[in-house]
Amino acid sequence: MSNKLYAPIILLLVLAFLIGPFIIIIAASLSAGETLSFPPQGLSLRWVIKVFEVESFRASFGISMFLAIGGTIAALILGIPASYALSRYKVPGAETIRTIVSSPIIVPGIIVGLALLRYFVVPFNFGILFALFLAHTALILPYAVRVVSASLTNLRSDIEEAAVLLGCSRVGAFFRVVMPNIRGGILAAFILGFVTSFNQVPVSLFLSGPGVRTLPIDMLSYMEITYDPSVAALSALLAFMSLGIVFLAERFLGFSRYV
């Protein structure tokens, strides 16, 4: 076989590997059968409809949305000034700070979750929701700092001096000329953070408690009891939601430039 044939075959295999599970999930969710199976037994939308009827899914979806949106906003409130300071000033130990800020991505989620549970939730008696909120904020922070830092690096710093000479205060210059120019990066960080938080399992696993569960954890426990295709249907819906968000971001912001 020639090289010309190898390349497309390998490409197809890789694509199948990446997209395959997604297709299986969609197919399984459209099954008319009683259990999760592939290939689907007949076609129906009953499991998709079932998703919206399960009470605990609605509650955990709400919690997941709250964590994803609230955590991302909190991470940006912490991350934007941090990125600004790291890119504009000679901060002693800047590299160390960057590493520490990135550590939640590097350290396995299981360890982060266990540590938070053992040393924060238990001794300080934090509420579960508050602990989850803190954990998600910490997990999103590295993305916020990275993406916002990237757009700050591309922005010349002399425009701030120019703004000051035209009458702005230092703080005013940040809001008038820095923020509008890193808006794309901030939105990109928001989307990355949102998706990361929404799909988070290991950390949330440790911090879930009675009545407070994120959606992925709720799906896991649902599956332990019932093995019906509604979990597949929910997965497919979530995948489409993520795709939709990324598509819109790419369409309007050129998302891939910032990641």
Residues forming the site for other proteins (CB under 8 A): 155-156, 158-159, 161-169, 172, 176-177, 180-181
**What is the nearest approach in angstroms of other proteins to the Cβ of residue 187?**
14
Of 160 and 228, the one with the shorter C-beta distance to other proteins is 160
CB atoms within 10 A of CB 196: 20
Compute the distance between CA of residue 134 and CA of residue 145 in angstroms, rounded to an integer.
16
DSSP tag of 33: S
Give the C-alpha separation, 258 to 105, whole Å.
18
Give the C-alpha separation, 242 to 161, whole Å: 40
Which is nearer to other proteins, 46 or 170 (by Cβ)? 170
Rounded to a whole number of angstroms, the minimum distance from the CB of residue 188 to other proteins is 16
Q: CB of residue 6 vs other proteins: minimum separation in angstroms?
A: 43
d(CA 148, CA 188): 8
Least distance between other proteins and beta carbon 78 (Å): 24
Shorter beta-carbon distance to other proteins: residue 92 or 180: 180
Closest CA to 141 of 195, 173, 189, 96: 189
Cβ atoms within 10 Å, residue 129: 16
Shortest distance (Å) from residue 163 CB to other proteins: 7
Q: Which residue number, 134 or 164, has a Cβ lying nearer to other proteins?
A: 164
Q: Collapsing DSSP states into helix, strand and coil, what is residue 36?
A: coil
Cβ-contact 232, 36 below 8 angstroms = yes
Q: In terms of CB distance, is 247 or 252 closer to other proteins?
A: 252
